[in-house]
Amino acid sequence: MILANKWEDYEILECGDGMKKERWGDVVLVRPDPQVIWPRATPDWGKYDALYHRSAKGGGKWDYHKSLPESWIIKYRDRRFKIRPTNFKHTGLFPEQAVNWDWFSKKIKSAKGPVKVLNLFGYTGGATVAAAAAGAEVCHVDAAKGMVAWCRENAALSNLGEAPIRYIVDDCVKFVEREIRRGTQYQGIIMDPPSYGRGSKGEVWQFERDLYGLLQKCTQIFDCNGLFFLVNAYTTGVSPTVVGNLLRESMSAFTGQVSSGEVGLPISNSLNTLPCGLYARWEA
């Protein structure tokens, strides 16, 4: 497991009984997490600002213990991100991904020439902002217009409003197919495909069925002197080794190596760590 342990504005304070207590800047939230199946060490959660209650019918709602702003800003290194509790328990950022941001940022900064990066299923743009801050030209693609707008906000907050970032609202597979026809080449590709999703025109995505096909398409727009290919996933029941195997098979024509494993976060005052998904990396 690789840990995102360089945060100052974020930390997991405690975990147990299916929940995690987190500090996002000065705001403390308690949210469900399906990985937390061990018992809580304390009898209650103590002081917090909001707690998310799941509904038996799906979804849920926030119980606010004090008035919070609609959104607030946290930072990681020289980057800033807007945090906003959503109706689906998310906050607009996956802090465990910071360990991947650091990894590909070093590769971008050490490159001998210009670097173009494609970020598929880009969400609110944590990886896009990190790649742009490292000096890359970035194409950010997501099917949700609101997420792409949020990415633009995060870029502006990080003083990257004028950076060479393309913001694309589109189905990721259809976009890659058009890039193949255009002959576009990228030196870095990042993707965070969902378990299940729909594109901007109702296209259906299923992780186990569609990932390999997308990886194969992406190799057609990957530069022969490319630097890295990163796949993140949160699909339960899928092994990091399986995703690593898919990436290795797809990248067989390129000289490089593949590694895979879990990403995680440390838990304050505990020897435990919280697993937060998986990664597969190809690097030249």
Place of tokens 């913001």: 167
Express each pLDDT in 163-179 by its tens digit: 999 999 999 999 999 99
Q: Strands across the sheet with 165-169, in order? A: 2-3, 257-266, 273-283, 228-233, 188-191, 116-120, 137-142, 165-169
Average pLDDT over residues 111-125: 97
Residue 266: in which H helix or E strand, if any?
strand 257-266
Q: Reduced to 3 DSSP states, what percent helix, strand and coil does the chain have, rounded to the nearest 5?
A: 25, 35, 40
pLDDT tens per residue across span 61-104:
999 998 999 999 999 999 999 999 999 899 999 999 999 999 99
pLDDT of amino acid 201: 73
Mean pLDDT of the region 114-131:
98
Q: What pLDDT sits at residue 204?
A: 85
If you average pLDDT over residues 116-127, what whole number do you get? 98
- pLDDT tens by residue, 198-242: 766 777 889 999 999 999 999 999 999 999 999 999 998 999 999
- Identify the pLDDT of residue 156: 98
Please state which of the ranges 53-57, 132-136, 171-175 shows the lowest mean pLDDT: 53-57
Residues near 282 by Cβ (< 8 Å), separated by ≥ 6? 228, 229, 230, 247, 248, 251, 254, 256, 257, 258
Portion of the chain with pLDDT greater than 70, in percent: 99
Asked if pLDDT for residue 23 goes beyond 90, the answer is yes
C-alpha 243/C-alpha 245 separation (Å) is 5
d(CA 45, CA 13): 10
**Interval 115-124 mean pLDDT:** 98
Q: CA-CA distance, 104 to 90, in Å (whole number)?
A: 25
What integer pLDDT is reported at residue 78 of this predicted model?
95
pLDDT of residue 133: 98
Q: How far is CA 202 from CA 159, 173, 240, in A?
A: 34, 12, 29
Residue 56 has a pLDDT of: 76
The reported pLDDT for the residue numbered 190 is 98
Q: Can you give the pLDDT at residue 236?
A: 86
Give the pLDDT band (50/70/90) at residue 57.
Answer: confident
User: Which pLDDT does position 199 carry in this prediction?
Assistant: 65
In terms of Cβ atoms closer than 10 Å to its own Cβ (0-12, 13-18, 19+), residue 56 is: exposed
Amino acid identity, position 261: G
The values of phi and psi at residue 121, to 5°, are 55, 50
- When the pLDDT of each residue in the chain is averaged and rounded to a whole number, the result is 96
